[in-house]
Amino acid sequence: MKIQEADAKSLLHAQGLPVPAWDIVHTPAEARAAAERLFLAGNDSVVIKAQVLVGGRGKAGGVKLAGSADEAEAIAGRILGMDIKGITVRKVLVAAAADIVKEFYASAVLDRTERRILLMGSAEGGVEIEQVAETNPEAIIRLHADPALGLLDHQARRFAFAMGLGTHWKAGAAVAQGLVRTMLAYDADLVEVNPLAVVREAGAHGTSAERLVCLDAKITLDDSALARHPDLEALRDPDDEDPADREAREAGISFIKLDGTIGCMVNGAGLAMATMDLVKRAGGAPANFLDIGGGARADKVAAAMRLILADPKVEAILVNIFGGITRGDEVARGLIDARAQQARAVPMVVRIVGTNAAEADALLREARFETAASLDEAAAKAVAATAGSRAGAAAGAGAGSPG
């Protein structure tokens, strides 16, 4: 789950990282009021940033500086409602504009291969790191945190020196450790600060001082660990989620869309994987992975059917239910209801075994469903019902005919 910059900054701040203060506003008038407060406090310019879950907002025109309250209002008016990479901007962040001396890049990611947190940094901040990785890979510093001990002090110092943070090395080492701490505290997959910036701040009597701050923040949380952080669920952004993914999550269904034409409805993750394998072996391609879970009832079956049919590529549906806790007749009733409400007619093959399989079979036969006794048979029938297979059969017949 991706979270907005402001929410990511809140989490970084909670972990003790240096993040400049900000306001979130939804209208140009609110942006003006926030800017006025900042100008009154002695700032001479403010930054207005679109809050959307995509990178490269700056390049897309979603990050602008304003030198007066009028300008702040006008800029907020332009950014709010703007479309950035397909997402409409509904809120903006307003903060005192930083006087940037130099931009750096710093991030922590889960390195699945090494099974450790990987810390990455570069003096080439501000720009997209993928670009640096391609054109100048040696400009990226990488080091792994110890799974048991975390990021050790000497590692953090080495990181800060290698980044070229100079006199800011202490702050840099603290940021490095803070990134790893943030990863662990919230079960994040990614914590990225780009730019991590050295900024010049006005002090008393016309003096100025430099400080290292997190000017941008991006955090991706591990969906599978969200149950451990119920408070973070509130940070979920509706724009982040595909409508099908949302429906699946709300219905308690595990659903992953794939590229094939055979929609699969199965109970149990292992059985769902096996079903997909057998569809492949029968010459077809699964349109999805779908596990309706144990004890699924009629409403869940109907939700699963809606999810499958929402994919226009689906040409046939294969239902494979092993009744344990799940009762076969309950699933059969759900399928009958779902078919009655079905938006488009798609051939369906149903295999139900286990608890109440006989009752399920009677119900399905009465409702004139295509059933199958074995999974192989079900897969073969589903594949035969798809257009690719019909075309293949026609071509085969053509080749065999005398001519």
CA angle 301, 1, 50 (to 5 degrees): 125
- How many residues are listed for the chain in this entry? 403
- Name the one residue in this structure whose structure tokens are 């494979």: 320
In the DSSP assignment, the letter for residue 369 is -
Distance between CA atoms of residues 94 and 4, nearest Å: 14
The residue sitting closest to ligand GDP, measured at its beta carbon, is: 58
Asked if residue 402 has a cis previous peptide bond (ω within 30° of 0), the answer is no
**Which 315-374 positions form the footprint of ligand GDP (CB under 6 A)?**
none
- Name the one residue in this structure whose structure tokens are 């993914």: 245
Distance between CA atoms of residues 372 and 376, nearest Å: 9
Contact between 194 and Mn ion by CB under 5 A: the answer reads: yes
The residues carrying an active-site annotation are: 105, 192
CA trace torsion 35, 36, 41, 46 (10° rounding): 20
Distance between CA atoms of residues 322 and 357, nearest Å: 9
Contact between 61 and ligand GDP by CB under 6 A: the answer reads: no
- Compare residues 7 and 216 and give the one whose CB is closer to Mn ion: 216
Crossing angle for the helix pair 298-309 and 328-341, to the nearest 10 degrees? 50
Contact between 216 and Mn ion by CB under 5 A: the answer reads: yes
Contact between 18 and ligand GDP by CB under 6 A: the answer reads: no
Contact between 286 and ligand GDP by CB under 6 A: the answer reads: no
Residue from 57, 91, 236, 257 that binds ligand GDP (CB under 6 A)? Answer: 57
Contact between 55 and ligand GDP by CB under 6 A: the answer reads: yes
Residue 99 CB, shortest distance to Mn ion, in Å, is 17
Q: Looking at 93-101, 235-243, 312-320, 331-339, which segment touches ligand GDP (CB under 6 A)?
A: 93-101
- Compare residues 19 and 183 and give the one whose CB is closer to ligand GDP: 19
- Compare residues 69 and 309 and give the one whose CB is closer to ligand GDP: 69
The residue sitting closest to Mn ion, measured at its beta carbon, is: 216
Distance between CA atoms of residues 32 and 77, nearest Å: 10
Q: Are 288 and 263 in contact (CB under 8 A)?
A: yes
**Which 62-81 positions form the footprint of ligand GDP (CB under 6 A)?**
63, 65
- Compare residues 56 and 137 and give the one whose CB is closer to ligand GDP: 56
Q: Looking at 22-30, 50-58, 183-191, 344-352, which segment touches ligand GDP (CB under 6 A)?
A: 50-58
- Compare residues 57 and 181 and give the one whose CB is closer to ligand GDP: 57
- Compare residues 92 and 248 and give the one whose CB is closer to Mn ion: 92
Compute the radius of gyration of the chain from its Cα atoms. Answer: 28
Question: Of Mn ion, ligand GDP, none, which one does residue 97 interact with (CB within 5 to 8 Å by kind)?
Answer: ligand GDP
Q: Which of 341, 348, 349 is nearest to 378 (CA)?
A: 349
Distance between CA atoms of residues 350 and 339, nearest Å: 12
Distance between CA atoms of residues 258 and 380, nearest Å: 19
Which residues share a beta bridge with 219? 3, 191
Q: Which of 267, 248, 266, 352 is nearest to 306 (CA)?
A: 248
Crossing angle for the helix pair 169-186 and 153-163, to the nearest 10 degrees? 120
- Compare residues 195 and 286 and give the one whose CB is closer to ligand GDP: 195
Q: Looking at 58-66, 141-149, 325-333, 351-359, which segment touches ligand GDP (CB under 6 A)?
A: 58-66
Residue 370 CB, shortest distance to ligand GDP, in Å, is 51
Question: Of ligand GDP, Mn ion, none, which one does residue 63 interact with (CB within 5 to 8 Å by kind)?
Answer: ligand GDP
In the DSSP assignment, the letter for residue 126 is S
In the DSSP assignment, the letter for residue 49 is E
Q: Looking at 10-18, 48-56, 185-193, 288-296, which segment touches ligand GDP (CB under 6 A)?
A: 48-56
Residue from 77, 126, 150, 164 that binds ligand GDP (CB under 6 A)? Answer: 126
For residue 137, give the H/E element and its range. Answer: none
Contact between 195 and ligand GDP by CB under 6 A: the answer reads: yes
Residue from 56, 67, 81, 137 that binds ligand GDP (CB under 6 A)? Answer: 56
Where do contacts with ligand GDP occur on this chain (CB under 6 A)?
47, 49, 55-58, 63, 65, 97-98, 100, 103, 126, 194-195, 215-216
Where do contacts with Mn ion occur on this chain (CB under 5 A)?
194, 216
